[in-house]
Amino acid sequence: MRIAQIQFTPWDKLYYFDCNNLDLAVGDKVIVKTSMGTEVGEVVGFLDKIEKKDGCECPNKEECAQKEEREIKPIIRKANSSDLEKNFDEKDKDEILDYCKKLANKFELPMKLIDVHSSYDGSKLTFAFIAEARIDFRELVKDLTRHYNKTIRMQQIGIRDEAKIMGDCGSCGKPLCCRGFLHNLSSITSEMADLQQCAHRGSDRLSGVCGRLKCCLAYEQRGYEDLAKNMPPIGAKVNVDGKRGVVISHHYLKQSVDVEFPPEKGEERGTKTEVDLNRNKK
């Protein structure tokens, strides 16, 4: 079974659907049936099978993935021009967002509204917002429901999702990865910067326009992890040309380490030498 990765909004996660023997390509718009109703989504990728979930505690992860695959619903059909015309345009979206912002200010809600999405049949509006804490938006939802006579859903998103929606250029001069091909925003940690030996550059240079660590830190992480496997740990005692020293730092890309030797007779300080780990293979 060929599985399509479908996305309904830039700030929502990916959903999986059976291609249903349709001739699909990345970028195609399709009609699918979800638990929330019928939706128009965009094909952003394909899978041959569902990957095993990280952190899954099932005794048999293969069976868990197979079970999830069996529950995948088929794509109904490709969307046509009349289907796409049902979605409201940017003018309608701006008007709805402006009205919701006025209500949020009326109820003094500390939230920043980012986007609004309408379901395919027009029966539901989903508002995406950013907030530092949980928001009690029950009164807001009541007013929106009365005004639009639709089902209202509020979805809190992260600040990285805002950059993904708005778009911009990164420090590399190219459009943001999350705006283009990067559909899943993985967790980026300071440990990645430490391993790649660029933490000394400071948070300003390592942060993207969203204010969080750059997603591109994850691109070479696996390569650095593979290179790190060959390194003796910091503090390890090693023999270099008959001299006993201690490993004090690593150079992953060069595949070398700095070794510190104790002072010899008549010397006040020890010495430090960079040692190529592959020198005996040359």
Tens-place pLDDT, residues 84-112: 877 777 788 899 999 999 999 999 999 99
For residues 257-265, give the mean pLDDT: 88
The tens digit of pLDDT for each residue in 20-64 reads 999 999 999 999 998 877 899 999 989 887 665 554 544 444 444
Report the number of distinct structural domains present in the chain.
4
> What pLDDT does 237 receive?
92
Distance CA 195, CA 192 (A): 5
> For residue 106, is it within any domain?
yes
Residues β-bridged to residue 155: 128
Asked if residue 121 lies in contact with residue 149, where contact means CB atoms within 8 angstroms, the answer is no
How far is C-alpha 103 from the chain's CA centre? 31
Work out the percent of the chain whose per-residue pLDDT is above 70. Answer: 91
Shared-domain flag, residues 11 and 45: yes
Shared-domain flag, residues 111 and 151: yes
Which two three-digit tokens encode residue 233?
């740990």
142 Cβ contact partners less than 8 Å away, ≥ 6 residues apart: none
> For residue 166, is it within any domain?
no
Q: What is the pTM of this model?
A: 0.66
Shared-domain flag, residues 108 and 137: yes
How far is C-alpha 164 from the chain's CA centre? 10
> For residue 168, is it within any domain?
no
> For residue 163, is it within any domain?
no
Q: What is the CATH number of the domain that holds 46?
A: 3.40.1440
Provide the H-helix boundaries in 18-158: 61-70, 81-85, 90-106, 138-148
How would you label 227-265 residue by residue, b for 16+ Cβ within 10 Å and e otherwise? Answer: beeebeeeeeeeeeeeeebbbeebbbeeebbbbeeeeee
Q: What is the CATH number of the domain that holds 106?
A: 3.30.300
Q: Any idea what the Cα angle at residue 276 is, between residues 271 and 281, rounded to 5°?
A: 140
Shared-domain flag, residues 253 and 212: no
> For residue 207, is it within any domain?
yes
Distance CA 59, CA 41 (A): 34
Shared-domain flag, residues 17 and 62: yes
Distance CA 79, CA 157 (A): 27
> For residue 164, is it within any domain?
no
> What pLDDT does 246 receive?
93
> For residue 169, is it within any domain?
no
Which residue segment(s) compose the domain that 194 sits in? 175-226
Of 199, 205, 194, 217, nearest in space to 171 by CA? 205
Shared-domain flag, residues 10 and 54: yes
The tens digit of pLDDT for each residue in 197-234 reads 898 888 888 998 888 899 899 999 999 999 998 899 99
For residues 119-139, give the mean pLDDT: 90
Lowest mean pLDDT among 65-74, 144-153, 174-183, 273-282: 65-74
